[in-house]
Amino acid sequence: MNRAILVVFVTLLVVLAGCAGGTEGAEDTIDDSQSVGDAIDVVDLNVADVSPDEEYVTLENTADESVDLSGFELRDREGGQVDGGLSPFSFPSEFVLEPEETVTITTGEGDSTDNKLYWGYNVNIWRGNGDVVRLVDTNGQVVLEHAYGDIDLDESDGDVEDENGGENDDVNESPVDGELEIHHIDVGQGDSTLIITPANETILIDSGDWRQDGSEVIAYLEAQGINRIDHLVATHADADHIGGHAAVIEHFETTGGGVGAAYDSGVPSDSATYGNYLDTVDEYGVDFLLVESGDKLPIEGDVSAQVMNPPAGDAGSDVNDNSIVLVFEFGDFQYLAPGDVDTGVEQRLIDEWGSDLEGDVYKAGHHGSSTSSSEALIDTVDPETAIISSAYDSQYGHPNDEVLERFAERDIETYWT
pLDDT tens string for the chain (417 positions)?
A: 333 334 554 433 332 222 333 333 334 788 888 889 899 999 999 887 788 889 999 999 999 999 999 989 988 876 544 444 567 888 998 899 999 999 999 988 899 998 999 988 887 888 777 888 889 888 878 888 888 876 655 544 443 333 334 434 443 344 566 889 999 999 999 999 999 999 999 999 999 999 899 999 999 999 999 999 999 999 999 999 999 999 999 999 999 999 999 999 999 999 999 999 999 999 999 999 999 999 999 998 889 999 999 999 877 889 999 999 999 999 989 999 999 999 999 999 999 999 999 999 999 998 889 999 999 999 999 999 999 999 888 888 889 899 999 999 999 999 999
Q: Which helix (H) or strand (E) holds 142?
A: strand 142-149
Q: In this structure, are residues 259 and 232 in contact, taking their beta carbons and an 8 Å threshold? A: yes
* Angle formed by the axes of helices 272-284 and 245-255, nearest 10°: 20
Q: For residues 206 and 232, give the distance between their C-alpha atoms in angstroms, rounded to a whole number.
A: 7
Q: How many angstroms separate the CA atoms of 191 and 396, rounded?
A: 14
Q: In order of start, what are the domains of the chain with their CATH numbers?
A: 33-148 (2.60.40.1260), 178-416 (3.60.15.10)
For position 290, what pLDDT does the model report?
Answer: 95
Secondary element (H or E) of residue 402: helix 401-409
pLDDT for position 79: 52
- Sort 371 into a burial class: Cβ within 10 Å, 0-12 / 13-18 / 19+: middle
Q: Which residues of 222-258 are buried (b: 16+ CB within 10 A; e: fewer)?
A: eebebeebbbbbbbbbbbbbbbbbbbbbbbbbeebee
Phi and psi at residue 263, to the nearest 5°: -115, 135
Query: Which strand (E) or helix (H) includes residue 103?
Result: strand 102-106
Q: What pTM did the predictor assign?
A: 0.61
Nearest to 409 by CA among 378, 381, 387: 378
pLDDT of residue 20: 31
User: What's the gap between Cα 215 and its chain centre?
Assistant: 26
